[in-house]
Structure 1
């Protein structure tokens, strides 16, 4: 059994399971999704990440105790991933590093789009010399802002800017971009460079442990 940890607090089952559903559809994996409490805007800065870390650790331990043999932390900052690897005996995959590793496989210069003021440290570190630049779309301050048409248009504009500045492919540094299927939105707006979705990337790595 694979446990998927959401860092956005949601009560609607469809919203809770949307990342698991994407992974199941693409890779044929079965997952159980749980979310941390009291984080209605998820993780979008240093403060919200620090508040979330102990919650993620506790939830990860609970999932392992319930029988999960693999954990996915579905957040591109990889919060508490290192701590969970030390605290449990199961593999722990973070969405941000997973996406960056996929991006590195091509050797292309990678532009990154996200919801934080600065690129998540794990993403920049993993991309290394392939990191081409980072943008936070205008008006996007947390994952919920991605749900609006204005937020999605801002994502398109940010990606166009990154490509104009030399990015050969784009990595999403927010799993909420998988929630809204930003890949499809960008493709519909004429973006043709490779697009690396963090939810798909964590699912790819999870598929090796099936």
Structure 2
């Protein structure tokens, strides 16, 4: 069976939280996922400083994983260390931020970005270019752990509603903490727009690379679900 090495940039002792992204990818595509987290990033990546701190840690984890997996996912919307890891290993490497942005462009032209701050990750803005329509962040949220609170959930829905009111035709979840929350289906139901989960977009990109052998859902079916 195809095996993905999934790198989390949020350090946690909670195995459920550590493995939740891998479980989502496994459920969608039927691949084996090995999840590893970087050390000493208790608040994940939420600004340039934490991005820069995470990049060499991602490289170190990737070097350990590479001999044992068929491809690597960096499960963070700022794609820390992406280019460096690609130059380090000889297997496919995908970042959630750039993969999610590319998937959003496949579904619309006015991309509303739901992020941790009103300055979304460069990995996202670089791909979206002029199709980035608007950006919103949940009030009172500064890092991914804040999302996993009742107020974080409530403010996330309000931020998404603002994107809809501003005219977005696609919502891009530009923080992989939103995958941990599991809010994409509810956002689609509430607002009737495609909602791109960056973690699943990265999983889709890797499974396309391998011809989707053994997957439960073809990547195209995942995009069709988003579009619905």
TM-score bucket of the superposed structures, by smaller chain = over 0.9
Q: TM-score, normalised by structure 1?
A: 0.95
Distance in 2 (CA, whole Å) between partners of 1:89 and 1:127 is 27
Q: Which residue of 1 aligns with 2:136?
A: 135
After TM superposition, give the deviation of residue 117 of structure 1 in Å: 4.5
- Equivalence for 1:89: 90
Aligned: 1:33 with 2:35: yes
Aligned-residue offset at 1:108: 2.5
2: distance between equivalents of 1:87 and 1:183? 33
- Residues 34-183 of structure 1 mapped to structure 2, 5 A cutoff: 34-65=36-67, 67-183=68-184
Deviation at 1:11, TM superposition (A): 1.8
Asked if the contact 2:108–2:170 (Cα under 8 Å) also holds between the matched residues in 1, the reply is: no
Equivalent-residue separation in structure 1 for 2:148 and 2:58 (angstroms): 24
Contact (CA 8 Å) 1:143, 1:176: kept in 2 or not? Answer: yes
Report how far residue 127 of structure 1 moved. 1.1
Other structure's SS at 1:105 match: helix
Q: C-alpha distance in 1, partners of 2:156/2:61?
A: 31
Deviation of 1:192 after TM superposition, in Å, equals 1.1
- 2:184–2:195 contact (8 Å) kept in structure 1: yes
Q: Give the Cα separation in 2 of the matches to 1:176 and 1:107.
A: 23
Question: Given that residues 45 and 117 in structure 1 are in contact (C-alpha distance below 8 angstroms), is that contact kept between their aligned partners in structure 2?
Answer: no
- Match of residue 200 from structure 2: 200
Q: How many residues align?
A: 208
What is the CA–CA distance in structure 2 between the aligned matches of 1:116 and 1:55, rounded to whole Å?
23
Partner SS for 1:118 = coil
2: CA distance between counterparts of 1:55 and 1:16?
Answer: 16
Mapped to 1, the partners of 2:117 and 2:54 lie a distance apart of 15
Partner-residue secondary structure (3-state), 1:43: coil
RMSD of aligned residue pairs (Cα, Å): 1.3
Report the alpha carbon displacement of residue 99 of structure 1 after superposing the two structures with TM: 0.6
> Distance between the aligned counterparts of 2:191 and 2:12, measured in 1?
31
